[in-house]
Amino acid sequence: MIPTDKLEFICRKCHIIKEFAPLPESILGYYYCDGNYYVILINESIRDDEKLYRCVLAEEIGHYRTTIGDITPRKYMCYRDRLTVDKKEHLALRWATDFMVPTGMLIDTLREWLQPTLDGLVEYFQVTKEFMLHKLRFMSKQNCLWDIDGKRSLYLANFPSVHIYERI
């Protein structure tokens, strides 16, 4: 598991101002850069939900790592701008899942466990189930079969169905 301190360290190292704020219920996190300051706001309603907080903070740091300019969705956006925002959200989420659940660490964990479960992985990596499913979805787009060890493979070709395939 990647500790929360590592996320906090990135904020300090990169001089990102991180604050809890009373955001609308539908907004869990917000990243903003005006050229001089980098700001991450986290909805104060998730302060006590460690897993959700970690996922939201990782995604917002993902915006810092992958986004240039303001991508704040507006009420009236043209289709092209909406696509651009969606692509930037996708990049930030991809960065976050790769950081919080590194593929090598995930495969190593599956190798060590006799009967891995999605809930077990969620607990081990301290992320939300939705976040873990995003990680597996990204992996399925990269490769549908991931070798775990000499006998087992992670089969993602029929995602969202996830199987551990045992060779005979």
pTM for the model: 0.89
Range of the domain at 148: 103-166
Counting the structural domains of the chain, the total is 2
What is the tens place of the pLDDT at every residue in 60-118?
Answer: 999 999 976 666 666 777 888 778 778 889 999 999 999 999 999 999 999 999 888 99
Domain end residue (candidates: 58, 77, 100):
100
Clarify whether residues 14 and 83 are in a common domain.
yes
**Rounded alpha-carbon distances, angstroms, from residue 166 to 63, 111, 142, 153:** 38, 12, 21, 7
Domain end residue (candidates: 44, 76, 100):
100
Clarify whether residues 72 and 14 are in a common domain.
yes
Of the chain, the percentage scoring pLDDT greater than 90 comes to 70
**C-alpha span between 152 and 163 (Å, rounded):** 10
Clarify whether residues 11 and 91 are in a common domain.
yes
- Count each helix (H run) and each strand (E run) in the chain, helices first: 6, 6
Clarify whether residues 151 and 112 are in a common domain.
yes
Clarify whether residues 55 and 12 are in a common domain.
yes
Clarify whether residues 39 and 112 are in a common domain.
no
pLDDT of residue 39 exceeding 90, the answer is: yes
Clarify whether residues 47 and 20 are in a common domain.
yes
Mean pLDDT of 25-45: 92
- In the block, residue with structure tokens 């079969």: 145
Domain end residue (candidates: 58, 82, 100):
100
Clarify whether residues 49 and 127 are in a common domain.
no
Clarify whether residues 38 and 71 are in a common domain.
yes
Clarify whether residues 135 and 156 are in a common domain.
yes
Clarify whether residues 109 and 93 are in a common domain.
no
Environment class of 70 (CB within 10 Å of its CB; exposed 0-12, middle 13-18, buried 19+): exposed
The rounded mean pLDDT for the chain is 91
Mean pLDDT of 2-30: 95
Residue type, 75: K
Q: How many CB atoms lie within 10 A of CB 28?
A: 20
- Crossing angle of helices 50-66 and 4-13, in 10° steps, is 30
